[in-house]
Amino acid sequence: MRAYGRRKRCSKALAVIAATAAVAVAAPQASATGSQTVGKGRYDRSALAADVRAVREASGEVSVLAEVSTGRGSLRARASTGEQTPWDARFRAASTTKTFVATVALQLVAEGKLKLDDTVEKWLPGVVSGHGNDGSRITVRDLLQQTSGLFDYVRDPELVQALQDFDEHRHDATPPEEWVAVAMRHEPLFTPDPAHPRFAYSNTNYLLAGMIIEKAGGRPWQEQVERRITTPLGLRHTTVTGTDPRIRGPHARVFFGLPDGKRLDVTEHTVQHTADSAVVSTTEDLNTFFRALVTGRLLPKAQLAEMQRTVERTGDSGDLAEWPEGGYGLGLRWTPLSCGGGYWHHEGDGLGSYTRTGVTPDGKRSVAVSITSAGSVPDLERIGPATRKLVDDALCAPRPS
């Protein structure tokens, strides 16, 4: 596992570096575009700009870009401690990738090429085994719904301890099979029980989902995302990076502060190249994607209903601090709105790039937010309330008369 030995030292160092950095936060800059007043709730560009500033203030030294799609146009706002993020910035969507992957898997289910009750062992014989792991007891549904109980490979202690010297290892790329093998060194958190599904978020699930998609669909998972989602929807600024370290097109630079006061540019890397994190997108494209998804443009009714059937997250879910309410479906979260009902979404937390999304069930309103580190790593528990308020404000505003 030479690739694992090379790459495993990459990302944790960034969190350690940022956590120990002492950086001053400059006075924020803010701007907004869009002339539309969104209904009687007056959620206009000024209101969005205020919410964006609140997110930046809760996040530290970062840049924030948000876009709200209203069905009658769009509103945009941004705020930064330094150089402004381009309005049409590309960014690493991180775990929001999981919704794309789950959508492809459900398309394959609709085509009869895959079943949600298929076991991992059927598609990947012998891959999930050892230390109490049993692929014959884990289904595709368990992978997509985060109910497999599999250890999350990014939490491997050896990996966490060794992740350092980012510049030396930023271009390393470990195949997903090797990361799954790392997870198999650990006992599972639990054995899935179909009658009582238990949620435990694990990136390992989506490495396996990507591998199964490739076998069932006969093409690399990246190519299937492009052929089945980004091309039909005209998402011209959404790509799957693979092992290309660059972000093509306008984008914000991503920086982490160092203890000596300098900044480390972590914009270009290959760390996020697998099916749990590899999509690069824009706020406009993510709004288009989520609206198309919930309105049935990507999935038949039966498969969309499966995707939106959620499981309750319990006290050991590990994500309740950031998402205290709601449930998890197949690569899709559900969160209540203060005005009643709720919204569908999936977050993404990567190396200095954080994504938040939301779309109403009817697809008439959506919002996408990009947060980019400009010197500090946001405390996710602090930005959670600020980003949830932004999404809630944007989606609860009445439609224009």
* Tens-digit pLDDT string for the chain (401 aa): 323 333 333 333 343 333 322 222 233 344 554 433 333 357 999 999 999 999 999 988 999 999 999 988 999 999 998 888 999 999 999 999 999 999 999 999 999 999 999 999 999 999 999 999 999 999 999 999 999 999 999 999 887 765 667 777 788 888 999 999 999 999 999 999 999 999 999 999 999 999 999 999 999 999 999 999 999 999 999 999 988 999 999 999 999 888 888 899 999 999 899 999 999 999 999 999 999 999 999 999 999 999 999 999 987 788 888 899 999 999 999 999 999 999 999 999 998 999 999 999 999 999 999 999 998 888 888 899 999 999 999 999 875 43
Say what the pLDDT of residue 386 is.
96
Asked if 189 and 149 count as a contact pair (C-beta separation under 8 A), the reply is yes
Residue 85 per-residue DSSP state: P
* Residue tagged active-site, from 69, 80, 95, 281: 95
Looking at residue 30, which CATH number applies to its domain? 3.40.710.10
Asked if 371 and 55 count as a contact pair (C-beta separation under 8 A), the reply is yes
Which tokens sit at 152? Answer: 């999350």
Alpha helical stretches, state H, 8-154: 12-20, 45-59, 97-110, 120-123, 140-145
Say what the pLDDT of residue 177 is.
97
Phi, psi of 338 (to 5 degrees): -65, -25
Is 306 within the bounds of a domain? yes
The domain total for the chain is 1
Is 364 within the bounds of a domain? yes
Is 356 within the bounds of a domain? yes
Is 41 within the bounds of a domain? yes
Say what the pLDDT of residue 321 is.
85
Residue 95 annotated to the active site: yes
Is 401 within the bounds of a domain? no
CA distance 41 to 47: 10
Say what the pLDDT of residue 366 is.
98
Asked if 364 and 379 count as a contact pair (C-beta separation under 8 A), the reply is no
Say what the pLDDT of residue 293 is.
98
How do 255-257 and 366-375 pair as beta strands? parallel
Residue type, 85: T
Is 65 within the bounds of a domain? yes
Say what the pLDDT of residue 32 is.
53
Say what the pLDDT of residue 23 is.
27
Alpha helical stretches, state H, 184-316: 203-217, 221-225, 283-294, 301-307
Say what the pLDDT of residue 4 is.
33
Asked if 113 and 107 count as a contact pair (C-beta separation under 8 A), the reply is no
pTM recorded for the entire structure? 0.90
Give the residue numbers spanning the domain of 384: 2-396
